[in-house]
Copies of this chain bind each other. A is one copy, B any other.
Amino acid sequence: MNSVLANLKIDCTNCRLQNLCLPRGLSKQDIQSLSDLVQNDTLVHKGDFIYRQGDDFYGLIAINAGSAKMLSTDSEGNQDLTNLVLPGELIGFDGVSTNTHQCSAIALETVNYCKINPDKLDVLCNQFPSLLRELFSHSCEAINESQRNPSHKNQSANKKLAQFLLTLSNRLMSRGFSSTEFNLTLNRQDLALHLSLTPETVSRLFSKLHKQKIISVSGKNIQITNLEKLKIVASE
């Protein structure tokens, strides 16, 4: 056994997600400062809440391993699955402005995450403008994503699903996973919620894409067998 490796603490300075997550664009010195403020390696399991809508601001969270869904319920009780969260992505912005979380974050499988506590965030704000600038940049990016993401607009259901699969494929690839074969951690119900469709429609569309030999579907296991055709479907 390699005791040196075994005892090596994983933190921001040696994290494999450094270029995707918060350290992105920071100096070595700043990454070290950040690392000292980050609480690493919290583990939660499938179905666990990372935080709940209505909770006091819990902190900014970087998903390190696993995936999560962002769920929000409006005053009428309607649910909306706003996002699927992958490793290297930040969540928690929904609690910054009002100090109360506007969404729930729920683990879709075993999830390992890092966290900057609210009090540490204040330290950041006062001592490390460059980090705060980076946070600001991250949050602005999130605005762009959510406003420009075409899947939330009324298009054909077919197109929405194809676009979702393409976007997911790209996001997985940039995280070092296979872009052509993956396990969809969202179930049909959740995916339907996310795309504003019914589970029946999602199921039918999966079958249709399968018959067209564009993807291969077996439950949650998805293979993209004809990327070009999938792109054509996504652009109608």
Interface residues of A (CB under 8 A from B): 70, 72, 74, 76, 78, 80, 82-83, 93-94, 96-98, 102-103, 125-127, 129-130, 132-133, 135-144, 146-148, 150, 152-154, 196-197, 235
Contact = CB atoms under 8 A, between A and B. Distances in A.
B93 A153 contact: no
Number of copies: 2
A148 B72 contact: yes
Contacts of A148: 72, 74, 80, 82, 102-103
Contacts of A126: 129
A235 B135 CA distance: 36
A43 B196 CA distance: 40
Kindly name the residue among A125, A146, A147, A235 whose own CB sees the greatest number of chain B CB atoms within 10 A: A147
A234 to B, nearest CB: 9
Contacts of A97: 137-138, 140-141, 144
B146 A147 contact: yes
Closest A-B pairs by Cβ, 5 of them:
A154-B196, A96-B140, A97-B141, A139-B139, A93-B140
A139 to B, nearest CB: 4
A129 B70 CA distance: 29
A100 to B, nearest CB: 10
Contacts of A144: 93-94, 97-98, 102
B235 A143 contact: no
A143 B74 contact: no
Given A74-B150, A82-B147, A129 B136 contact: no
A24 to B, nearest CB: 11
